[in-house]
Amino acid sequence: MAKQEHIIIIGAGLCGSLLGLRLAQRGYKVDLYESRPDLRTTDISAGRSINLALSDRGIKAMKLVGIENKVEPLCIPMYGRLIHDTEGNTFSSNYSGRDGEYINSISRGGLNGLLLDEAEQHENVTLHFNKKCTGVDIENNTAHFKCYESKEEFSVTGDVVFGTDGAGSSLRKSYYLEKKFLFSYSQNYLTHGYKELEIPADSNGKHLISKDHLHIWPRGQYMLIALPNLDGSFTVTLFLSYDEGEYNFNNLTTIEKVTEFFKTQFPDALELIPDLDKEFFGNPTGALGTVKCSPWQYKGNTLLMGDAAHAIVPFYGQGMNASFEDVVVFDSIMDQHSGDWNATFKAYEKIRKVDTDAIADLAIDNYYEMRDHVANPIFKEKRKLEMDLEKTFPTEYFSKYSMVTFNENINYAKAMKIGRAQDKALLNMIADKEIDTTENLNNILKQVQQHTNEILEEDKVAGLK
């Protein structure tokens, strides 16, 4: 760099604050603008998901900026799903057959606060809160803001502008509205929304149910999940249709109906949520949407990253991890294009978009899997077999979930392609009783690999590749 280039980042959430920190570490001068108040000093969690799942792709990003040791104390390891039936019985389903593979429940606010601390401590970073981006002049790298405190409007011009301003990105809106290029764009909502509730800690500040699991109450048309928090509580999320089925957000209008719904569907959970009334009617109903778009960049001036480029539904626990991985991938691309932003941005999208599209689709797959299939006998037999295969062949067999979640060196698109074929092979072999579980696992592994390869080959021929 001849001179120190000046970078503007719109949005200091999880992705923006990590990106700002990393670019500062690389020597750039970074100004980070955030529309909300500083979350380290204000409670602004209302309605947003309070905790998230951090896994290997995200941890790799923490290592890139050197803060993995500070992140670890914020983590609660979850080793598998604990599935609750309508009788209150539970059974567990591990995430992996290998030791040391687990996902982590982590507070969004806690992690974002740590990233802001780290960014703020870097001499190259300046943080600006309460500054709402009102639009971006994408020809001139100029972002327009309004200050929520002073009510003043102002503009800032940088060498480049990054939009890490989430699913409702103002930079992306400028791409859409300015019509300077053909902008492929999609926003797709599920028929279901979500509502957050809480299982508080017991009187000793301990967790009332296993904190080593992600809890699921799968009921086909609706689903409840719960992730543990460090303070002994659980954040519970209800996924429910807006207007379909016997129970939905539109017709659950009284506490009597809500209680009846929980009593018949989630009786064990009902006993653990004392403030159901207040929370159900006080907390907002969130929408579940997927956003895809292309191009992410314009003329090497501006670039979308994180949820601004690819918002996904939460069912694979990969939203944050994918956004963090964006920064890792972008960082590696920067090494190859020595300061040429246009070339860097193009190369980044070319390599990255196929993977963010894949995780978006995988997350939709998992929505149906978690809601409808985790309690299905064939699915359960498949999961059990996969655990055995992973345990016995830890370097040879990887389930789709393991590839996506624990193998940061397999990209999402490859994990999706191979994982879907492998799932299809396993489910069909189980359904057709082609797998004899008394047979030695070595033979079963070979059978599964062979059938998976046949499926991949048939797909390839059908695509005439």
Interface residue list for a copy of itself (CB under 8 A): 182-189, 242, 287, 289, 292, 372-373, 376, 378-379, 420, 423-424, 427-428, 431, 455, 458-459, 461-462, 464
CB closer to a copy of itself, 24 vs 362:
362
Q: Which residue's structure tokens are 């503007």?
A: 8
The least CB distance from residue 443 to a copy of itself, in Å, is: 21
CB closer to a copy of itself, 192 vs 215:
192
Return the ∠ at Cα 228 (arms to 249 and 83), rounded to 5°. 65
The least CB distance from residue 141 to a copy of itself, in Å, is: 22
The least CB distance from residue 447 to a copy of itself, in Å, is: 15
Q: Are 290 and 187 in contact (CB under 8 A)?
A: yes
CB closer to a copy of itself, 90 vs 428:
428
C-beta atoms surrounding 411 within 10 Å: 20
Q: What are the residues facing 226 on neighbouring strands?
A: 215, 236
CB closer to a copy of itself, 287 vs 354:
287
The least CB distance from residue 187 to a copy of itself, in Å, is: 6
CB closer to a copy of itself, 327 vs 455:
455
The least CB distance from residue 423 to a copy of itself, in Å, is: 6
Element (H, E) at 288: strand 286-294
CB closer to a copy of itself, 3 vs 465:
465
The burial class, CB within 10 Å (0-12 / 13-18 / 19+), for 256 is: exposed
The least CB distance from residue 431 to a copy of itself, in Å, is: 5
Which one-letter amino acid corresponds to residue 300? G
CB closer to a copy of itself, 190 vs 201:
190
Residue 223 neighbours by CB under 8 Å, 6+ apart = 216, 217, 238, 239, 370, 371
The burial class, CB within 10 Å (0-12 / 13-18 / 19+), for 260 is: middle
Residue 378 neighbours by CB under 8 Å, 6+ apart = 427, 430, 431
The least CB distance from residue 459 to a copy of itself, in Å, is: 8
Look up residue 157 and give its two tokens: 């011009």
Reduced DSSP (H G I as helix, E B as strand, rest coil) percent helix, strand, coil of the chain, to 5: 40, 25, 35
